[in-house]
Amino acid sequence: MTSLIHVGVFSTSVAVLIGTIIVSLTRPDCTAIRENNEGFKLCVTSMRGVKDLSHLNITSVPSLSNETQYLDISYNVIQTLEGTEFSGLSQLCFLNAAHCGLREISATVFTHTPALKILNISNNDLAFIPDISLKQLKILDLANNRYTSYELPASFQNFTKLDFLSLGSAAALSVSYGDFDALMNVSVQHLFLGAGTHWQKYEPGSLAKVKSLKKLSLFASFCGTFGMFENLLVDLNVTQAKMLRVISLFPDSCNVSDDPFKNLRTMPFIQNLTLENTWINSTFMVVFMKNVWVSPLHQLSFVNITYNEDTPDGFNLPPINHTINLSSVIFNGVNHYQYRYPTINMSFEAASRLTYLKFSGTGMNILPCRVMTALPSLQILDLSDNLLSESGFWWTPCSRSSVFPKLRKLSLSRNRFSSLSFISQKTHQMNSLESLDLSFNSIHLDGDCYWPAQLTELRLGNNNLGNSVFAYLSSDFEKIDLSKTGITSITQKDLTRFSKLTHLTLSSNSIQVIPVDLSVPALLSLHIDQNAITSISREVLAGLPRLQKLKVGGNPFVCSCDSYWFITAFNKSLLMDWPLDYTCSTPLSFAGLPLSEYKPSELSCEMWLQAAVALPVLIVISAAVGLVFHKCDGAWYTKMLWVWIRMKRRGKKRSNILNNASFSYHAFISYSNQDSDWVDAHLVPTLEGAGFSLCVHERDFVPGEWIIDNIINCVESSYKTLFVLSKHFVQSEWCNYELFFAQHRAISVHRDSLVFILLEPIPTDSLPKKYLRLRSLLRQQTYLEWPKDDRKQQTFWASLKSTLHIADKSVVLKDIALAISDTVPLVADQM
């Protein structure tokens, strides 16, 4: 059965087509050398080892750290690479020196870089293929230089680990039989050959020597010399290569009258063929596809092609009456010049075994009706990067009894779909659909969604959906992609319905915290990178018992104890992007530091350890303080502090009563009981005989009162306090109290009320520690010393009496003072 198909592709008369990716017909970038992704993945273990010096207009390689693993010096003005510039770079694994104008590479350069695995010296001015030997090298790009021959140096036979080799020069127009002899025993898997020029000669058998070849990317034109191309295909068949990629095979002006691909019929090993960056017409397509139908090809790809219909009926392929092996067809970027849709007239039985079909970057806005119903084996359909909408995909004129009966995966990414509720209803027509990609559209949450039970995977990335999107998803979903959808937070309530969820992608949102109560028992993979998460707590993973893969890099981590558990104890084998994508954001002192190099101490972050260390330290300190307290009479000073506080409180209560009262005694005598004989025989009789009123504790203390209170009363009621100092005095506890209160009283009234009588010599160094203040007083104040000579004693008494005579006018009868003291409280009570 044949059918006429008008493929829904916009046509235009200009080179640029809306919705179509146009790639210039210069040498394309080598897919095997992905300078960023592949280099980082293969070489970089720490961001400290990455040095990007590209586009700096430097003329030589500066001094570098011996930690350098990844070096990019492309797009500079470096004509020569010297060996000294690479001295010490024993860890260098990736070197990109493309677009530098290189003319010479010193033979000693690579002796300093034994770990080099990726070397890109393409797009330079090298006049010959350099003679280098690197045993670890896996990827080597020498394309777009100025060498005139493809002959490889003998040193290339030492590339025992080489996987990819790119060769190409606009000046090299021929391939000779012995050019690739050095690769005969090298396990190169992928050879990229050519610079887009028209070859003048290819000697048969040249490529047949590369016996390990699995893929050939051929970038050359053979217009008018297709016999040369046929010979190349014969050699490729000898290598048993499985993949052929032909780039710019036909220039725009080429008139293809031959059948350059007729050898496909006899190439049993080729399974994958790609035509890229080339011009083809409908006449060629008919001849070409006849060869494809009878070939062993499983996958056919057209990448960035320009298609022209040079026949009135378009692409018209006769019926096929034999089995076709082709199971995968890819159209990735199609440009055409007609003002009408391309016409394809072919039997759908020819595509009955097709399981994978991709129409991407074609500008398609309407899906042909027959595509939906006449591909019974189709399992994967990719219609990404087109202009499709709901009305163009489910086109009203089409009548459908069965829609994609075996389709399991459908990609509608990068189109113009908008209604999620409408799409959810239409997916019920696809009874086998398991995966749907709606990323990069303009999806709106416009109503309730009813998804088919067999649909288990949904991709909605890069649509502005917000936090409420979870309510529009099916509880049967096992894989959900919500990257860059404007989500600011997730809760356990959002995910509690998804009991079957195994893969969740939330990358590139604004999520700040992973909830500690998050519980998704079936989850195997979680991507939550590129958000606003500052730390990950231990409790988060408790609700993810089956988690096998976690991607959480690119977040602004705080390098503090909040991240201690994640850095030190978390199983890093679960992290897909560790350690390169994990850096400190704050504090500023650690900003930019790789998280793997932040080493917080266990003591500063573990509370139990702090307690375990602090407890014995506290015990030791307490013991030391207790010992010092005991040695320094701390108990006595504490007792004195308490008494002083009581004295202060008592003084405040009586200050208003006795503020203007006179003293009851000229002096209060403080002495040791062992010196009472001298006090009773000399001091008291002499002073009282001279008319002075003295307070003596044995006589004047009030019975029944606390001794401390008696001391305080006597000190406060006396104009002076006489201290009879002797060796016995400094051994008396009560004498120490009396000195303490008298001293504080002298300070409080701002009066020199202390008089010291030295009864016998006392060395100040022999005084106990509790008498430290007395030492100071004896050094600062004048004291009276009791002389043994009778004549000197008269002078002693005279000096002492003169000290007490000043208080005569202030001293009143003791009874009157006590009466006032007793009467005032009664008056106060009556008032």
| Rounded-to-integer distance, Cα 755 and Cα 216, Å | 115
Q: How high is the mean pLDDT of the chain? A: 82
Say how many CA atoms lie within 13 Å of 649 toward its Cβ: 7
User: Looking at residue 572, which CATH number applies to its domain?
Assistant: 3.80.10.10
Residues 550 and 616 reside in one and the same domain? no
Residue 828 CB neighbour total at 10 angstroms:
10
> What's 740's domain CATH number?
3.40.50.10140
| Residue range 248-303, pLDDT digits in tens | 988 777 777 778 888 888 899 999 999 999 888 888 888 888 888 888 999 999 99
CA-to-CA dists, residue 528 to 551, 554, 598, angstroms: 6, 9, 22
Residue 775 lies in a domain: yes
Q: Is 626 within a domain?
A: yes
Q: What is the mean pLDDT of residues 129-155?
A: 93
Cβ within 8 Å of residue 794, ≥6 positions away: none
DSSP-assigned letter for residue 368 = -
Does one domain contain both 667 and 788? yes
The segment with the largest mean pLDDT, out of 273-287, 649-663, 732-746, 807-821, is: 273-287
User: Nearest CA to 249 among 216, 218, 289, 221?
Assistant: 221
Give the per-residue pLDDT at 497. Answer: 92
Residue 818 has pLDDT above 70, yes or no: no
Q: How far apart are CA 425 and CA 421, in angstroms?
A: 6
Tell me how far apart the alpha carbons of residues 510 and 747 are, in angstroms, rounded to a whole number: 69
Q: Are residues 543 and 574 in the same domain?
A: yes
Residue-level pLDDT at 68: 93
- Mean pLDDT score, 560-582: 85
Q: Return the minimum-mean-pLDDT range out of 71-75, 624-628, 821-825.
A: 821-825
Q: Does residue 575 lie in a domain region?
A: yes
The per-residue pLDDT for 347 is 66
Q: What are phi and psi of 186, to 5 degrees?
A: -105, 135
Question: In the structure, what pLDDT confidence band is assigned to residue 611 with cuts at 50, 70 and 90?
Answer: low
Q: Is a pLDDT exceeding 70 seen at residue 104?
A: yes
CB 511 within 8 A of CB 531: yes
CA distance between the termini of the chain: 127
Cα distances (angstroms) measured from residue 665 to each of 662, 714, 720? 9, 8, 8
Reported as a single tens digit per residue, the pLDDT across 416-469 is 999 999 999 999 989 999 999 999 999 999 999 999 999 999 999 999 999 999
pLDDT tops 60 at residue 155:
yes
Q: Is residue 711 part of a domain?
A: yes
SS3 410: strand
| Residue 29 pLDDT exceeds 60 | no
Residues 666 and 805 in one domain: yes
Q: Which residues contact 130 (CB under 8 A, 6 or more apart)?
A: 105, 121, 142, 153
Neighbours of 207 (CB within 10 A): 27
Same domain, 681 and 581: no
Instruction: Provide the token pair at 808.
Output: 């005569």
Let me know whether 579 and 701 are in one domain. no
Between 800 and 240, the more confident residue is 240
Residue 388 lies in a domain: no
Domain's final residue, options 557, 574, 603:
603
**Does residue 613 register a pLDDT over 70?**
no
Per-residue tokens: 248: 């710019």
The residues with which 175 forms a beta bridge, in sequence order, are 202
507 lies in the same domain as 496: yes
Question: What contacts 143, CB < 8 A, 6 or more positions away?
Answer: 27, 30, 122, 123, 166, 167, 168, 169, 192, 195
User: pLDDT, tens digit, for every residue of 651-697?
Assistant: 455 444 444 546 788 888 888 888 888 888 888 888 888 888 888 87
* 394: alpha, beta or left? (left if phi > 0; alpha if psi -120 to 50): beta
DSSP-derived 3-state class of residue 813: coil
**Residue at token pair 């002492």:** 800
> Which tokens is 400 given?
């459908």
Per residue in 460-503, pLDDT (tens digit) is: 999 999 999 999 999 999 999 999 999 999 999 999 999 999 99
Nearest CA to 741 out of 758, 775, 718 is that of: 718
DSSP category for residue 562: G
Local confidence band at 639 (pLDDT 50, 70, 90 cut-offs)? low
pTM score, two decimals? 0.71
So what's the pLDDT on residue 612? 67
What whole-number distance in Å separates Cα of residue 264 and Cα of residue 698?
134
pLDDT band at 28 (very low <50, low <70, confident <90, very high): very low
Q: What is the identity of the amino acid at 684?
A: V
Q: Is the peptide bond before 28 cis (omega within 30 degrees of 0)?
A: no
As given in the structure block, the two tokens for residue 255 are: 């008139």
Name the E strands within 535-678: 549-551, 557-558, 584-586, 665-670
Question: Domain check: are 654 and 666 in the same one?
Answer: no
Q: Span 815-829, mean pLDDT?
A: 43
Calculate mean pLDDT across residues 68-74: 94
- State which of 659, 690, 723 marks the end of a domain: 659
State the average pLDDT over residues 104-124. 91
Confidence of residue 642 (pLDDT cuts 50, 70, 90): low
Domain that holds residue 653: 606-659
**Residue whose tokens read 């293969």:** 42
Closest CA to 8 of 543, 510, 370: 370
Tell me, yes or no, whether 442 lies in a domain: no
Q: Is the dihedral of CA 572, 575, 579, 582 positive or negative?
A: negative
Q: Helix 634-654 to helix 707-716 angle, to the nearest 10 degrees? A: 50
At what angle are helices 733-748 and 634-654 packed, to 10 degrees?
Answer: 40
Average pLDDT over residues 621-626: 84
One domain, residues 702 and 748: yes
pLDDT at 369: 79
The pLDDT of residue 207 is 95
**Residue written as tokens 């058998």?**
205
- Interacting residues of 307 by C-beta distance below 8 A, sequence separation 6+: 280, 281, 282, 285, 334, 335, 336, 342
Quote the pLDDT of residue 714: 82
Residues 559 and 629 in one domain: no
- Same domain, yes or no, for 647 and 541? no
CA 263 from centroid of its chain's CA atoms: 54
Q: How many CA atoms lie within 13 A of 51 on its CB side?
A: 22
Q: Give a yes or no: residue 305 inside a domain.
A: no
Per-residue pLDDT reduced to its tens digit, 168-177 = 999 999 999 9
Number of domains in the chain: 3
Q: What is the pLDDT of residue 604?
A: 57
Same domain for 668 and 791, yes or no, is yes
Point out the domain boundary residue: 581, 603, 625: 603
The answer to whether residue 761 sits within a structural domain is yes
